[in-house]
Structure 1
């Protein structure tokens, strides 16, 4: 065990608060970088369409742009199947360092690809390649980061500390949206098309290097360190046996994880990735792209103010009630939110986006502590990464493309509301199937407490 790993007292992990803060910072900055990229790509969708997919039809450009966005999600399960079990074998820290630098390089490369006008069909091909690198690395990033934070934090505050991972998501999106808004306001449309759109992608490399440095400074999580000691004394499983243990003995937990992630990601990508395009292209709203971006930044800033409080609330009342509140809000508020956005005024659009933000924040604050608790230590990162990324690939990254296609075919502008309601119902069923995990040790791990605190069993 490394010197940076929190001390263990008999069968209890005693957590050093300073180490917890370092672990949260290291995990969060990777999530920040990932979602900064996704935010930039979503907010620059129309510009990217013109640069890489020249066409007389805006809808065709958007479908091609969001299709490239979605293709990266198709390889996320492959990344999860590679990096997840690898993290269970060689350690959480090593895998998180690898995914961090891959993600940063992939994002940076998008910023240096010549336009279609310059190199023809090679331009969208290279864009697709960069997105595939991002998708593969992200397949190991988020599940690994959730596992890392969950295994580093004390049982009684796991919800609060876990919510900082999604705090990083919101900061990343705000940085992405804010950067695009500033560039759009400062540069002419021609300057944005020729070189301005590249700047946000180039910034990702130094951000990634900072994240890599922070992650390499940390030791392994206490739960994994203890598991490694026990595993060294036993005969190691073959890869085939590991996958059998994941898929056969943990399939119920994986199905529940897929359902929860489906619900969260439909709400998340509907709000973060699709709403700017929905307002500007489908509604042809009088609200400018810059104003739309600023409205989303305002909603995300409001979410930043409450997300850690909701995470703390889940430590007190439980994960299930908070997750049920999120699923219920999707069913009840989806139609009012979309109708408000369709009114087309700045005030109504902000109110509608605020309701959508409310749907997202219940899940964002709680999922990072609820999902890792579904699986035992020996397969936690693998089972979580695989089930999470299968769900994201099928239902999250495709949201924008599916909505664009459905509205184009049917002409019905209410499709986003139908989609959100269906996802909320599925989420409610998934929550009903999981056990409460708040204030309990992770499966296969001893109780984790802060210095000076007694484990729950001793109180």
Structure 2
């Protein structure tokens, strides 16, 4: 993995450049972070709102005579297919992002997300068009996967190349915090729909509302991103004619294998925090095993996402101040302990106490805010977008896409399987932190 000094193009010996790298965020930086975070939140809302209405899709888009098991499997398969499409979208958009500019791809990803989200809101169900319904649903999810594959890596690269080098942790923590708030928007929307409409009304038509709203808000974000400018790093590479020649992804795979490995492992940890703890813990609590009321579980989730957002920003600041290695060691150790206590307390403590435990765990899931810090510094600027996008999306496609299916099976054997999975990956995160600490000391 390349060091910060070699991977960030503005690292220079002059006092002027040193001051520039360590300065505080200015108005221009705040504008970039605000628009990037807002767009990321709305796009991630569009991507994950599907999971909040998975049971509705199971009943509306598949044959009525299917067993509950196959309906559930098909629905989560539709959820997973978007993850498998992420590497394709990520590689394509990152390729052009490294060659023609970050901003263009950053805006395109929003368009590609808003269109299929809006279309899902108007899709006919199985009752009306038969097997064409699940096929169209899968197609829309595939387009969403392509879009999100470019959006998240693009956001991390975009803000990292705008802000001072000594504020990259904070910037990425804030953007990642914005992405997690997209989950909160989804949770609040699901809570609003479940509180306002009856189950029959939700199944008949109300499930469409979140998708229509999300699609329309996506186009608002496209308009707002008009006010963003290309990153100074990319413009400088253009001026120096230092852009990568040929296929950026080929250079990534050929010359940066250690960077790919550490990025894949860090993203695997990220999937455990977001997919397992934030998205699927409420589903576990609502299951027949624990019977937590849906409204209670969604309320718990909302508090936890707020704690997660704060944790992301805190992690970013810690990375800037103490280094990413020390931050990972401390935060991952805390995540292993807090998540184990939380999962083993489900069904054994009252709901207010469980809410606090879940929120504390969510705060330490904020270690995900340090993941982009690792990846941004792992790849040189001319192939940064491609390297980050390839590693992140490859890992997310495998672990983010298959984990729900895997846990859905093993949870029937042991409902605490999710806890053991998170603890295992938290320990892996500690070892990643030790490696990063040693690597930093060498350089």
TM-score w.r.t. structure 2 length?
A: 0.89
Give the drift of 1:435: 5.7
Cα deviation, residue 127, structure 1 = 0.8
Name the stretch that deviates more: 275-284 or 382-391: 275-284
Alignment of 1:132 with 2:138, yes or no, is no
* Change in 2 beyond 3 A, CA 1:302/1:330: closer
In structure 1, the residue matched to 2:431 is 429
3-state SS of 1:371 partner: helix
1:27 aligns with 2:36: yes
Residues of 1 paired with 2:249 and 2:58: CA distance?
A: 40
Q: 1:432 Cα shift?
A: 2.8
CA shift for structure 1 position 210: 2.3
Q: Distance in 1 between matches of 2:303 and 2:361?
A: 13
Given that 1:30 and 1:100 are in contact with CA atoms closer than 8 Å, whether structure 2 keeps it comes out as: yes
**Residue number in structure 1 paired with 2:246:** 238
Match of 1:300 among 297, 301, 305: 305
1:382 is the counterpart of 2:386? yes
Shift of 1:198: 0.6
Structure 1 segments unaligned to the other structure (5+ residues): 1-5, 444-459
Distance (Å, rounded) in 2 between the aligned partners of 1:200 and 1:120: 23
Partner of 2:55: 46
Following TM superposition, by how much is the alpha carbon of 1:88 offset from its aligned partner in structure 2, in angstroms?
0.6
Give 1:95's aligned residue.
Answer: 105
**Pair 1:250 & 2:252 matched:** no
Which structure 2 residue ranges, 5 or more long, are not aligned? 1-9
1:359–1:401 distance in 2 versus 1, CA, 3 Å = farther
- The runs of at least 4 consecutive aligned structure 1 residues that moved more than 4 Å come to 8-16, 435-438
Does 1:336 pair with 2:341? yes
Deviations 1:367-418 (A, max 9, x none): 233321111100000000000000111112322221112223xx21121012
Aligned Cα root-mean-square deviation (Å): 2.5
Match in the other structure for 2:351: 346
Contact 2:46 2:113 in 1 (8 A): no
**C-alpha deviation, 1:76, in angstroms:** 0.8
Distance across 2 between alignment mates of 1:359 and 1:261: 15
What is the distance in 1 between the residues matched to 2:173 and 2:29?
A: 13
**1:161-185 deviation per Cα after TM superposition (whole angstroms, max 9, x unaligned):** 2211122123211111111111111
307-316 vs 366-375, greater mean Cα deviation: 307-316
**Aligned mates of 2:310, 2:381 — CA distance in 1:** 32
CA contact (8 A) 2:76 2:404 kept: yes
Distance (whole Å) between structure 2 residues aligned to residue 30 and residue 437 of structure 1: 34
For residues 134-173 of structure 1, the C-alpha deviation after alignment (integer angstroms, 9 at most, x for no partner) is 1011111111110001111112222222211122123211
Deviates more, 1:107-116 or 1:95-104: 107-116
Q: CA separation in 1, counterparts of 2:437 and 2:392?
A: 18
**Shift of the alpha carbon at 1:421?**
1.8
Give distance in 1, aligned partners of 2:68 and 2:351: 24
State the shift of 1:358 in Å: 3.0
Equivalent position SS for 2:346: helix
In structure 1, C-alpha distance between the alignment counterparts of 2:404 and 2:128, rounded to whole Å: 28
Contact 2:305 2:362 in 1 (8 A): yes
What corresponds to 1:457 in structure 2? none
Contact 2:290-2:347 within 8 A present in 1 as well: no
Q: Distance in 2 between matches of 1:73 and 1:201?
A: 19
Q: Is the 8 A contact 1:49 1:61 kept in 2?
A: yes
Q: Distance in 1 between matches of 2:89 and 2:47?
A: 17
Distance in 2, Cα, partners of 1:224 & 1:415: 45
Which of 225, 230, 233 is 1:215 aligned to?
225
